[in-house]
Structure 1
Amino acid sequence: MTAVDLPAVPCVLIAEADPWSRDLLKQVLLNVRCDARLDLCADGQQAALMLSEKTYDLIIADWELPGVDGLSLLRSVRQQRRSPALPFILISTRNDSTSVREALPLAPTAYLTKPLNMEGLTQRLQDLLLNEGETVYCDVPALAPGMTLPVFLERRRETSDGAPLRVDVKAAVQHSLEPQGLDLRHLEEQVRVDPQITAVLIAAANSAGHHGTPVHTLSMALHKLAAGQSMNLILGLALKHNVILSDPGLMDYAERHWQLSQRTAEYARSLARMLDLDHERCYSAGILHRLGDLALLRCLQEWRQGGGELDDELIGESLFTFGASYGSALRTRWRLPLELRQLIAAVYSLEGGVYSREALVMNMAAQLARLTEHEGVEELARSKTARLLKVGLPELTRMRLTRR
């Protein structure tokens, strides 16, 4: 089937069990056809039901779907003997010759193995969904009549895509490519200051497609996902709508939150190392603790692009009212590990009467990070947190001087 056979707006079904792989497929497809109507599902039975109720122009399915697998879906589609044949891209972790021979008689439009070759997938989709030389542009939707900023932000809280990117992901991946492949250690150094990349990779490494010990750090996530999937997820972030802030005013706010996150993370890592605690997990909590505020800034850019008014006062009020709840919603929806979420919460306050030493570290690191250039650490050295950690004025002074 060629692009000329497609309707003006193609309807596509994506069936993939892993939520982050499913989202990646969605972003790659929308980057080719931003106007496409998409249906997403996580298991083969749901996909089969949707296929029985609706006509699609393209199907992308993973072989390893729970319930009805992707190969069975392909077999069912081919038994309908539609002419021309319905385009069907089959994705699988299986790259052995036996599996390929099993799939080929069913004539998949493409058989792609994981980790996906993003350029190859993009080219396949362009061939299927666009005429030669064609490009589809989509306007930013205008705000609904009468929409107010608080209502808009309340609605977007549960569907926010997260924070804007701080790091140029394409450059980061390019700088980390070695002749033998992607250098994960170098990639970690390139992206570890970015809250969005850190959160997404940790969430993906803890998703349904990856079992075992919970992942709390960027390093653990990179190694669990391996080079190919890590690279795809990072590059996929650049495809998302509004992931780069273009508004100068919002960019100023974002820079302040990025700087505060980084200072908190670095203080937390130094304190944890000094006390022989998990310094990488403490660093992760510090980098992630402003994720909600940053996600809110990204939504404020959507508001402005849709025609809404925005000034410093509204930005400040929105951050005060919604920043914390945006962060909580994201951490819950992305299923970040409970221990990591507890450390992030400790940045803001210590609740209850018993605290882990790592929680105390996070609280102290946040207080250090918020000090202005002219403030000293004497008051912090007398605080309850310092006493519980058994950290005194000499240690805090040395740490402050090291950071300057």
Structure 2
Amino acid sequence: MTAVDLPAVPRVLIAEADPWSRDLLKQVLLNVRCDARLDVCADGQHAATLLGEKTYDLILADWELPGVDGLSLLRSVRQKRRSLPFILLSSRSDSASVREALPLAPTAYLTRPLNMESLTQRLQDLLLNEGESVYCQIPALAPGMTLPAFLERRREVCDGAPLRVDVKAAVQSSLGPEGLDLQQLEDLVRMDPQITAVLIAAANSAGYHGTPVQTLHAALNKLVPGQSMNLILGLALKHNVVLGDPGLVAYAERHWQLSEDSAEYARRLARMLELDHQRCYSACILHRLGDLALLRSLEDWRQGGGALDDEAIGESLDAFGAAYGSALRIRWRLPLELRQLIAGIYSLEGGVYSREALVVNLAVQMARLTEHEGLEELAASKTARLLKVGLSELTRVRKT
């Protein structure tokens, strides 16, 4: 495909087994051509079926696809369309694998972790004329659409929370002569619920096995550093990751601060009681994820032409915030143990609950106190008594 025969609106096939890598490829491509018609699949057989049904202008496929692998797809394509752009992705960087692929003339052979700048440049060369850019207008709301109906539809497809952290700056600050400093990166992004949730979810996806990951620290150390960096940077490419409405920003700031304060109190309490402080921190950082995701959906509503005021924001949070959080945690397949710990923040009624659940519950109660409220009532609460912490311990946690 050259500059003289580029399609007006390209049709692209992405075949990638890992859901988070698949989403990242989709976002990078849409950032280059937001109008592209995308078909996305998770296995080679589905990709082969689509190739038999439709004509594509570009294919991105992973060599390690289940069923029909990416190299077999490339071989099949080359039997029919020698010049069709085909980007083959692979974790194989050895010379034997490269020699096996090159006779099939892939447009590019990219090894993991992907160089995102290189991939973006490749896509620009294939999908845009020199100096060209494509602008996609935000679609207007359907006639007669109400805010509750809009939020109900968005609940199962929302893309998570807005970003609190400048991810490009965080990654740049963490890059040194020896590569990515994971500890420094963790310190810079750990207060961001969206980054924490996505990396934990990615570290628990099908491509990674072993003990379920429940903390940002464990996720960063389980993922390949380059993959962590790409996933974090990819979040900045998504729609509405930065809120534009001042009212929504004010609500987001309050939820972010509550999450961070809760997490810090939970970390201190857990350390004092010799419990898993990273897991407690993680649960508290994530416990307002649904409310934040709802605010991002309200930004979509506003940009689509919907009216929005402070009363509507508050009512929407009350009606949908918890449901958005539950839907996200299930859809992103966060570990059951982590979801149960987050649930302990909201309710300790019935059943048997862990000491970590008591810690996060108490930490959130502490974070909700105003600066003028004392700790006496909290120290006398059932949660504090079960943990066997009194006023002196809570005072130390608050002042540390």
| Kept after mapping to 1: 8 A contact 2:58/2:86 | yes
Q: Which residue of structure 2 lines up, in the alignment, with residue 28 of structure 1? A: 28
- Per the TM alignment, residue 3 of structure 1 is displaced from its structure 2 partner at its CA by 3.8
Query: Match of 1:64, as an amino acid?
Result: E
RMSD: 0.8
Q: How far apart in 2 are the matches of 1:260 and 1:273?
A: 20
Question: How much does 1:393 deviate?
Answer: 1.1
Q: Which residue pairs with 1:348 in the alignment?
A: 346
Matches within 5 A, 1:142-161: 142-161=140-159
Q: Match of 2:253, as an amino acid? A: E
Distance (Å, rounded) in 2 between the aligned partners of 1:401 and 1:202: 30
Per-residue deviation, 1:26: 0.2
Aligned to 1:67: 67
* SS state at 1:38 partner: strand
Q: Aligned partners of 1:130 and 1:157: how far apart in 2?
A: 34
CA distance, structure 2, for counterparts of residue 173 and residue 88 of structure 1: 30
Q: Determine the structure 2 residue equivalent to 1:111.
A: 109
Give the alignment's TM-score, normalised by structure 1. 0.98
Offset, 1:204: 0.3
What residue is the counterpart of 1:223 in the other structure?
221
What displacement does 1:401 show? 2.6
Alignment map for 1:367-382 (pairs within 5 Å)? 367-382=365-380
Q: Does 1:320 align with 2:329?
A: no
CA apart distance, 1:226: 2.2
* Counterpart for residue 128 of structure 1: 126
What is the CA–CA distance in structure 2 between the aligned matches of 1:398 and 1:69, rounded to whole Å?
58
Distance 2:47 2:6 in 1: 21
Q: By how many angstroms is 1:6 displaced?
A: 2.6
Q: Map 1:2-401; keep pairs closer than 5 Å.
A: 2-80=2-80, 82=81, 85-401=83-399
Aligned residue for 1:34, secondary structure, equals: coil
2:258 & 2:2 partners in 1: Cα distance? 51
Instruction: Give the Cα separation in 2 of the matches to 1:43 and 1:197.
Output: 27
User: Residues of 2 paired with 1:185 and 1:5: CA distance?
Assistant: 48
Separation in 1 of the partners of 2:191 and 2:205? 22
- For residues 396 and 373 of structure 2, the distance between their equivalents in structure 1, rounded to whole angstroms, comes to 14
Q: How far apart in 2 are the matches of 1:201 and 1:351?
A: 31
Amino acid of the residue matched to residue 121 of structure 1?
L
CA distance in 2, matches of 1:281, 1:292: 19
Q: CA deviation at 1:356?
A: 0.5
Aligned-partner Cα distance in 1 for 2:250–2:391: 33
Q: Is the 8 A contact 2:59 2:87 kept in 1?
A: yes
- CA positional deviation for 1:4: 3.0
* Aligned partners of 2:186 and 2:217 also within 8 Å: yes
SS of the aligned residue for 1:5 comes to coil
Unmatched 5+ stretches in structure 1: none
Q: Secondary structure at the match of 1:111?
A: strand
Matched residue SS, 1:286: helix
Offset at residue 191 of structure 1 (A): 0.4
The CA deviation at 1:354 is: 1.5
Shift of residue 382 of structure 1?
1.0
SS state at 1:208 partner: coil
Structure 1 distance, partners of 2:156, 2:120, is 29
Maintained 8 Å contact 2:262/2:364: yes
Distance, in Å, in 1 between the alignment partners of 2:182 and 2:244 is 30
Distance 1:225 1:396 in 2: 36
- For residues 134 and 206 of structure 2, the distance between their equivalents in structure 1, rounded to whole angstroms, comes to 34
AA aligned to 1:53 is E
For structure 2, the residue ranges without an aligned partner over 5 or more in a row are none
Deviation at 1:399, TM superposition (A): 1.5
Distance in structure 1 (CA, Å) of the matches to 2:114 and 2:219: 18
Offset of residue 209 of structure 1: 1.1
Tell me, yes or no, if the aligned pair for 2:12 and 2:38 is still in contact at 8 Å. Answer: yes
| Contact 2:113–2:224 (Cα < 8 Å) also in 1 | no
**CA drift at 1:247:** 1.1
Matches of 1:47 and 1:302 in 2, distance apart? 32
Aligned length: 400
- Distance (Å, rounded) in 2 between the aligned partners of 1:400 and 1:262: 13
Deviation by residue 1:158-179 (Cα, 9 ceiling, x = unmatched): 0000000000000000000101
* Whole-angstrom distance in 1 between the partners of 2:95 and 2:387: 58
Q: Which runs of 4+ in 1 moved over 2 A?
A: none
Contact 2:267 2:277 in 1 (8 A): yes
Deviation at 1:139, TM superposition (A): 0.6
